[in-house]
């Protein structure tokens, strides 16, 4: 197992990155939970772009827009997480996998210098069920943990949570996974921001709601699975030339 300690920890975002336009049932579950717990109709909510926000931030934005007091939002936050998890019932999402990503996940899964986990704004129960519905759950062993919208409302805190959990999977008292051996893969400026907050690598994909211009602050911006593969393999096993250049 100790060989895994220097593996590259790849922390995948879900919506817009692994899966495209796969949020219909998810949004419905959030609305239904907010209706039940707070008695508001979130369906009419017209907010700012929510891509990259955590589920808890989206719920807060909807509720605040409906005039619900912050104290009430906080008081019932755990109940909302619980009910969204119970109400979320996705259809078959296999047609929503971003092209080429299933093959890339499988290839990376087979490498002993890569560990795959998640950093997503989805609540954990939603994230795991969504990936299962898309046929991707098998690539994400829960023992490697992850960072989810149910862990913290602030996405910037999720990479460190994911690094701590992945390291703890190797041994309980291990330091969090090395920043230099960790990469976020996501589709929004918020994914880039959370990687910067934790000082880990970040590769941005243009398959979601943002283009190259929006994502220019990432270490690399890629348009498809082939380019993403190149970027991740370059981090997993840096070419000798690249290492020499770093040191000069």
Find out whether 159 and 56 touch, Cβ atoms under 8 Å: no
Packing angle, helices 55-65 and 77-87, rounded to 10: 110
How many CB atoms within 10 Å of residue 77?
17
Looking at the Cβ atoms of 121 and 176, the one nearer to Mg ion is 121
- CB nearest Mg ion: which residue? 16
Instruction: Report the alpha-carbon distance of residue 57 to residue 89 in Å, rounded.
Output: 21
Provide the strand spans (E) within 25-120: 114-118
Least distance (Å) between residue 190 CB and Mg ion: 8
By CB under 5 A, residue 85 contacts Mg ion: no
By CB under 5 A, residue 16 contacts Mg ion: yes
Provide the strand spans (E) within the chain: 8-12, 114-118, 182-186, 201-205, 220-222
Which range in 5-13, 31-39, 69-77, 196-204 contacts Mg ion by CB under 5 A?
5-13
Q: Which of 183, 187, 231, 233 binds Mg ion (CB under 5 A)?
A: 187
By CB under 5 A, residue 55 contacts Mg ion: no
Which range in 30-38, 163-171, 187-195, 213-221 contacts Mg ion by CB under 5 A?
187-195
Which range in 86-94, 186-194, 196-204, 233-241 contacts Mg ion by CB under 5 A?
186-194
Looking at the Cβ atoms of 17 and 182, the one nearer to Mg ion is 17
Instruction: Report the alpha-carbon distance of residue 115 to residue 7 in Å, rounded.
Output: 6
For Mg ion, the binding residues (CB under 5 A) are 13, 15-16, 187
């Amino acid at each position: 197992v100790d060989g895994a300690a220097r593996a590259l920890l790849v922390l995948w975002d879900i919506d817009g990155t692994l899966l495209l336009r796969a949020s219909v049932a998810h949004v419905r579950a959030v609305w239904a939970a907010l209706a039940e717990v707070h008695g508001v109709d979130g369906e009419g909510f017209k907010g700012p772009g929510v891509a990259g926000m955590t589920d808890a931030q989206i719920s807060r934005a909807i509720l605040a827009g409906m005039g619900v007091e912050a104290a009430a939002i906080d008081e019932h936050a755990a109940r909302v997480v619980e009910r969204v998890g119970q109400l979320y019932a996705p259809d078959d999402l296999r047609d929503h996998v971003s092209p080429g990503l299933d093959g890339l996940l499988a290839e990376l899964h087979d490498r002993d210098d890569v560990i795959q986990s998640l950093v997503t704004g989805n609540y954990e129960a939603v994230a795991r069920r969504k990936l299962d519905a898309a046929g991707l759950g098998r690539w994400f062993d829960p023992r490697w943990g992850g960072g989810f919208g149910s862990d913290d409302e602030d996405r910037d805190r999720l990479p460190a949570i994911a690094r701590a959990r992945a390291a703890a999977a190797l041994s309980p008292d291990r330091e969090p996974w090395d920043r230099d051996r960790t990469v976020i893969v996501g589709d929004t400026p918020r994914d880039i921001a959370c990687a910067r907050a934790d000082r880990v690598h970040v590769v941005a994909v243009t398959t979601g709601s943002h283009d190259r211009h929006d994502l220019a602050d990432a270490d690399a911006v890629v348009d498809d699975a082939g380019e993403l593969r190149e970027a991740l393999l370059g981090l997993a096993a840096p070419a000798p030339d690249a290492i020499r250049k770093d040191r000069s």
